[in-house]
């Protein structure tokens, strides 16, 4: 019979192999799913894995969607490595978007393009403030940060609703709940004409490099992670858990807020009730599939972005339900968690011995 | 000729990467008290688990009263007449003694169990009240409960795993009386230990294990400590040099330190007074769970709730300073838990240096906090060499090391920092005899170099070997200081029960 046997030490090969195996099994389950829904599985799969990469423009779109996911996931990885369970990146992302919109709405026709700088700073600050609420409540009253950060997401959605239905509603917008379209000067500079790729990609790449250095080459980053790996050892070393809490929340809040600012002042160009697209939650999966490693998260962000785009294509071209995107995301995380067993265990075939 | 009660032939058990038992044979006669002697990692525990049925051997046979026996699980072992008292107790703190025992004996009513406990307790002089909740019991009393639980199955073979590590000397004597009575009634006892003098006092047969193999079978009463230790480790431990000297200035001063417990089953510290001077080793003896943990948390700075002024280092109040700030003043501390407190299990040895050492962190305003990886790895390699740590290298994960080797690394890491005040808890717990001697030698060298050393240990022999003065901790209170000249095992033993104030009360 098949048995799981503990490995003497974790397998290095499987720590890379497990995400690949998880992806393969997600695809296999996907094939069955498409067949059951009465669609040609090959065509459906190509929506997810070929259409998003088949041309330069498609690749650009892929990166556009991957950018906010990666930025948010980078911050979340710091949290999760520090034993700080920030589940509310979506709310921090929204507050970043709202704060950035506040600045963007101040722009006039003749405003200089440098207004982008305060827009982005406002986004970072907005995200930090929202994350700071959860950090403060935990620090001061020992509340559970999972619940608080999650509930703050729904508060953030209400704040967004209030702004677009109330004070910021476009007076010339036929009563639609949205702000006016931002002035052109506020638009995040693009890298190439004809593509929607913006300098946000550069921020994300700088974020990857910076995060790698912070986590693996600085004492402050080390101290944070000890708090996550062995809280008693952090206490023994004298690394402050309060400090870890604040640093992790502020970094992830700031990055989520930056992602929000890049979205509203970039591809969206105005504040609408449709800004919350679930990036903050999808980024949790990005962070874990990428092994909480900055470079790994680059790949998982692209993968997750493929699922988003593929899901939209499958909806518009094949008439498949949009919730398929969520099913795919969930499947991937689920199979990754299952495959991770192989990092610490191996499968062995044991003959059942008589009497054992 | 008498049939052996238990006979093992060719028992072999391999785990991935380790041979725990290799072709082990063992024979226990009825009424025999048989010692299984060996260092940590010699394979004693695995062998006992095989006999008790919680581990299955890869090869080999087990005969019980002459008949082949296959034990698939502990329940079958108990049914066959084999009982075991584990080193770590399996008792629920919130339940009473009787309820705990009842859990394992579903066939009887609680009232019967109560009566049976009382009967066994009377028969063997194991004084325990069946109605008391377990969390109110001392460690010695909990062990009595475990022994009663084992005896209620009327075993023909009783296995005891390191039973004395948690007991006061007086409680050890009481335990030995019980065990001798059991043996005289024909019960065989397998007694696992690495304490040579206990084995010589109690046992009349001994099997010595080293590296998973049997290295000797003997009658311990005809052997000396030296000959037994040669069988166990292959050589005799080196003797320590303990030079006389006069201590210097007070480095650590504790005055009227009182602290409420942090967790439900902890101990309140009550008016602790303590001085540790430069160039002396002060030992703190005591049965575990009497406030050692709480005192060490307060001294190390992991607990910063102490009243201002109650803890001073070099005359400076440190009561509110966290562990890192106290370390910057020269206090280095080796905690009792190595994995998870003294070291991060999933990080490399090199990275574990960063917990308490900043040598590899770049100084200077611009590069502050930058980790120089090369420097870090070199430093870890040097420590591994100097302290003879058996590890794959500086990149080996802390959890891949055996307890003893990790202890050598952690002690090395702290001693290498040249502390002016060194606090160490259970310095040689789970460490083999050779390494233990090395660690004690390092502690004495530190003392001779003028460091103030505080050692908290449950091993009395160890404290007698290295201390200049001793205190005893009991129920969160610390005894007055006792010079080594006046310290005897009997006196320390009675102080362990908290009896230092009323000298007229007999122990």
Nearest to B324 among A5, A220, A237 (CB): A237
CATH number at residue B247: 3.40.50.300
Q: pLDDT at residue A146 above 90?
A: yes
Query: Per mean pLDDT, which range of A301-305, B344-348, B468-472, B500-504 is the poorest?
Result: B500-504
Q: What percent of chain A has pLDDT over 70?
A: 97
Q: pLDDT at residue B263 above 90?
A: no
What is residue B504's predicted lDDT score, i.e. its pLDDT? 42
pLDDT digit string (tens) for B37-66?
887 777 888 899 899 988 889 999 999 998
Which runs of consecutive H residues, i.e. helices, occur in B387-432?
A: 403-415
Q: What percent of chain B has pLDDT over 70?
A: 94
Q: How confident is the model at residue B327 (pLDDT cuts 50, 70, 90)?
A: very high
**Contacting residues of A for B397, CB less than 8 Å apart:** 9
Pick from A55, A183, A178, A158: which is nearest to A108 by CA? A183
What is residue B193's predicted lDDT score, i.e. its pLDDT? 83
pTM as predicted: 0.79
Query: Other CB atoms closer than 10 Å to residue A209's CB: what's the count?
Result: 11
Of the residues B369, B392, B409, B417, the best mutation for testing chain A's interface (the one with the most A CB atoms within 10 Å of its CB) is B369
Q: pLDDT at residue B170 above 60?
A: yes
Q: How confident is the model at residue B241 (pLDDT cuts 50, 70, 90)?
A: low
* DSSP calls for B235-275: SPPPPPP-------SEEEEEEEEEE--SSTT---EEEEEEE
Q: pLDDT at residue B310 above 90?
A: yes
Cα B483 vs. chain centroid, distance in angstroms? 25
Nearest to A235 among B302, B343, B361 (CB): B302
Verify whether the Cβ–Cβ distance B346 to A217 is below 8 Å: no
What is the distance in angstroms between the Cα of A306 and the nearest Cα belonging to chain B?
33
Domain boundary among the residues B182, B203, B233 is at B233
pLDDT digit string (tens) for A62-114?
999 999 999 999 999 999 999 999 999 999 999 999 999 999 999 888 888 89
Verify whether the Cβ–Cβ distance B327 to A9 is below 8 Å: no
Residue B201 Cα distances to A260, B185, B227, angstroms: 75, 19, 15
Domain range for B475: 237-330+419-507
What is residue B1's predicted lDDT score, i.e. its pLDDT? 60
Query: Per mean pLDDT, which range of A10-14, A66-70, B63-67, B261-265 is the poorest?
Result: B261-265
Q: Residue B150: inside a domain, yes or no?
A: yes
Mean pLDDT across the stretch A220-247? 92
- Same structural domain, B32 and B153: yes
| Number of folded domains that form chain B | 3
User: Of A150-159, B189-198, B494-503, which has the strongest mean pLDDT?
Assistant: A150-159
What is residue A49's predicted lDDT score, i.e. its pLDDT? 86
Q: How confident is the model at residue A248 (pLDDT cuts 50, 70, 90)?
A: very high
- Same structural domain, B297 and B402: no
Q: pLDDT at residue B489 above 60?
A: yes
Q: How confident is the model at residue A152 (pLDDT cuts 50, 70, 90)?
A: very high
Nearest to A8 among B16, B300, B369 (CB): B16
Verify whether the Cβ–Cβ distance B72 to A230 is below 8 Å: no
What is residue B505's predicted lDDT score, i.e. its pLDDT? 42
Q: Residue B289: inside a domain, yes or no?
A: yes
Q: Residue B20: inside a domain, yes or no?
A: yes
- List chain A domain ranges: 66-292
Q: What percent of chain B has pLDDT over 90?
A: 42
What is residue B506's predicted lDDT score, i.e. its pLDDT? 41
Establish if B369 touches chain A: CB-CB under 8 angstroms: yes
- Same structural domain, B167 and B215: yes
User: Of A330-334, B46-50, B143-147, B376-380, which has the strongest mean pLDDT?
Assistant: B376-380
Pairwise CA distance, residues A218 & A204, whole Å: 20
Pairwise CA distance, residues A201 & A70, whole Å: 9
Q: Indicate the burial class of A121 (C-beta count within 10 angstroms; 0-12, 13-18, 19 or more).
A: middle
Domain boundary among the residues B167, B201, B233 is at B233
β-bridge mates for residue A3, sequence order: A348
Residue B364 Cα distances to A194, A218, A219, A343, B368, angstroms: 47, 14, 14, 40, 5
pLDDT digit string (tens) for B114-143?
888 988 888 888 888 888 888 888 777 888
What is the distance in angstroms between the Cα of B352 and the nearest Cα belonging to chain A?
9
**Contacting residues of A for B305, CB less than 8 Å apart:** none
Q: pLDDT at residue A304 above 70?
A: yes
SS3 category, A351: coil
Establish if B310 touches chain A: CB-CB under 8 angstroms: no
- Same structural domain, B136 and B35: yes
Q: How much is the ipTM here?
A: 0.80
- Same structural domain, B187 and B308: no
Q: Residue B423: inside a domain, yes or no?
A: yes
What is residue B328's predicted lDDT score, i.e. its pLDDT? 92
Instruction: Name the A residues in 284-313 with CB < 8 Å from any B CB.
Output: none
- Same structural domain, B126 and B224: yes
- Same structural domain, B423 and B399: no
Domain boundary among the residues B199, B233, B267 is at B233
Mean pLDDT across the stretch B386-398? 88
Q: Do B6 and B27 touch, CB atoms closer than 8 A?
A: yes
Nearest to B369 among A219, A233, A237 (CB): A219
Q: pLDDT at residue A314 above 90?
A: no
- Same structural domain, B405 and B465: no
Q: Residue B1: inside a domain, yes or no?
A: no
- Same structural domain, B401 and B438: no
Which residue on chain B is closest to A5 by alpha carbon?
B16
Mean pLDDT across the stretch B458-473? 89
- Same structural domain, B315 and B344: no
Verify whether the Cβ–Cβ distance A356 to B72 is below 8 Å: yes
Verify whether the Cβ–Cβ distance B323 to A6 is below 8 Å: no
Q: pLDDT at residue B87 above 50?
A: yes
What is the distance in angstroms between the Cα of A134 and the nearest Cα belonging to chain B?
25
Mean pLDDT across the stretch B432-451? 87
Q: pLDDT at residue A41 above 50?
A: yes
What is the distance in angstroms between the Cα of A231 and the nearest Cα belonging to chain B?
8
Establish if A354 touches chain B: CB-CB under 8 angstroms: no
What is the residue-averaged pLDDT of chain B?
87
Residue B286 Cα distances to A87, B21, B274, B476, angstroms: 46, 35, 15, 10
- Same structural domain, B360 and B371: yes
- Same structural domain, B412 and B437: no
């Amino acid at each position: 019979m098949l048995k799981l046997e503990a490995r003497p030490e974790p397998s290095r090969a499987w720590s890379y192999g497990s995400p690949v195996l998880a992806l393969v099994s997600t695809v296999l389950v996907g094939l069955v799913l498409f067949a059951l829904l009465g669609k040609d599985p090959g065509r459906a799969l190509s929506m997810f894995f070929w259409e998003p990469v088949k041309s330069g423009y498609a690749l650009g779109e892929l990166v556009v969607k991957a950018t906010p996911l990666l930025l948010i996931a980078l911050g979340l990885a710091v949290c999760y490595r520090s034993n700080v369970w920030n589940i509310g990146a979506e709310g921090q992302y929204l507050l970043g978007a709202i704060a950035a919109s506040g600045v963007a709405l101040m722009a006039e026709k003749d405003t200089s393009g440098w207004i982008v700088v305060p827009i982005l700073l406002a986004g970072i600050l907005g995200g930090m403030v929202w994350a700071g609420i959860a950090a403060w409540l935990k620090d001061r009253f020992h509340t559970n940060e999972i619940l608080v950060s999650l509930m703050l997401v729904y508060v953030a959605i209400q704040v967004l609703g209030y702004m677009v239905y109330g004070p910021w509603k476009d007076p010339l917008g036929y009563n639609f709940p949205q702000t006016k379209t931002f002035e052109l000067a506020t638009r995040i500079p693009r890298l190439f004409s004809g593509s929607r790729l913006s300098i946000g990609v550069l921020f994300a790449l700088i974020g990857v490099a910076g995060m790698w250095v912070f986590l693996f080459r600085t004492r402050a980053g080390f101290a944070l992670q000890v708090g996550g790996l062995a809280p008693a050892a952090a206490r023994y070393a004298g690394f402050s858990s309060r400090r870890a809490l604040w640093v992790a929340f502020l970094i992830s809040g700031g990055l989520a807020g930056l992602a929000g600012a890049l979205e509203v002042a970039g591809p969206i160009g105005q504040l609408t009730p449709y800004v919350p697209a679930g990036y903050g939650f999808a980024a949790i999966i990005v962070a874990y599939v990428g092994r909480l490693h900055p470079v790994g998260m680059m790949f998982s962000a692209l993968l997750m972005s493929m699922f988003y785009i593929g899901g939209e294509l499958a909806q518009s071209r094949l008439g498949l339900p949009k919730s398929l995107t969520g099913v795919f995301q969930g499947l991937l995380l689920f199979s990754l968690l299952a495959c991770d067993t192989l990092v610490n265990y191996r499968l062995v075939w044991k003959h059942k011995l008589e009497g054992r | 000729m008498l049939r052996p009660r238990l006979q093992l032939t060719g028992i072999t058990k391999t785990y991935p990467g380790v041979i725990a038992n290799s072709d082990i044979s063992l024979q226990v006669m009825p009424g025999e008290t048989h010692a299984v002697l060996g260092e940590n990692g010699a394979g004693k525990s695995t062998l006992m688990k095989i006999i008790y049925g919680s581990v299955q051997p890869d090869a080999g046979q087990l005969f019980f009263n002459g008949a082949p026996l296959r034990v698939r699980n502990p329940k079958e072992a108990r049914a066959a007449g084999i009982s075991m008292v584990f080193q770590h107790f399996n008792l629920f703190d919130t339940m009473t003694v009787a309820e705990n025992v009842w859990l394992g004996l579903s066939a009887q009513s609680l009232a019967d169990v109560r009566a049976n406990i009382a009967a066994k307790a009377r028969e063997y002089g194991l004084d325990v009240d069946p109605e008391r909740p377990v969390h109110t019991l001392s460690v010695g009393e909990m062990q009595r409960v475990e022994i009663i639980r084992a005896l209620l199955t009327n075993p023909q073979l009783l296995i005891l795993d390191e039973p004395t590590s948690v007991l006061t000397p007086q409680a050890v004597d009481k335990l030995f009386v019980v065990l001798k009575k059991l043996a005289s009634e024909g019960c065989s006892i397998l007694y696992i230990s690495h304490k040579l003098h206990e084995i010589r006092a109690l046992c009349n047969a001994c099997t010595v294990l080293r590296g998973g193999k049997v290295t000797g079978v003997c009658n311990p009463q005809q052997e000396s400590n030296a000959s037994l230790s040669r069988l166990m480790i292959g050589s005799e431990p080196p003797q320590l040099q303990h030079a006389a000297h006069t201590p210097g200035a007070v480095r650590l001063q504790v005055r009227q330190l009182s602290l409420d417990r942090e967790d439900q089953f902890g101990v309140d510290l009550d008016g602790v007074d303590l001085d540790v001077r430069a160039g002396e080793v002060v030992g703190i003896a005591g049965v575990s769970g009497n406030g050692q943990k709480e005192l060490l948390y307060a001294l190390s700075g992991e607990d910063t709730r102490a009243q201002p002024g109650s803890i001073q280092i070099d005359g400076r109040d440190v009561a509110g300073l966290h562990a890192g700030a106290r370390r910057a003043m020269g206090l280095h501390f080796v905690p009792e838990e190595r994995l998870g407190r003294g070291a991060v299990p999933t990080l490399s040895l090199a990275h574990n240096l960063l917990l308490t050492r900043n040598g590899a962190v770049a100084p200077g305003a611009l590069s502050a906090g930058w980790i120089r990886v090369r420097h870090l790895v070199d430093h870890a390699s040097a420590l591994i060499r100097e302290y003879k740590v058996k590890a794959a290298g500086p990149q080996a994960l802390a959890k891949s090391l055996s307890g003893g080797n990790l202890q050598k690394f952690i002690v090395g890491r702290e001693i290498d920092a040249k502390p002016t005040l060194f606090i160490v808890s259970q310095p040689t717990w789970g460490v083999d005899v050779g390494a233990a001697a090395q660690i004690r030698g390092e502690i004495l060298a530190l003392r001779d170099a003028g460091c103030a050393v505080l050692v908290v240990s449950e091993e009395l022999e160890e404290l007698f070997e290295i201390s200049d003065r001793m205190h005893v901790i009991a129920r969160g209170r610390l005894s007055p200081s006792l010079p080594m000249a006046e310290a005897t095992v009997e006196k320390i033993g009675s102080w362990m029960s908290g009896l230092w104030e009323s000298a007229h009360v007999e122990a």
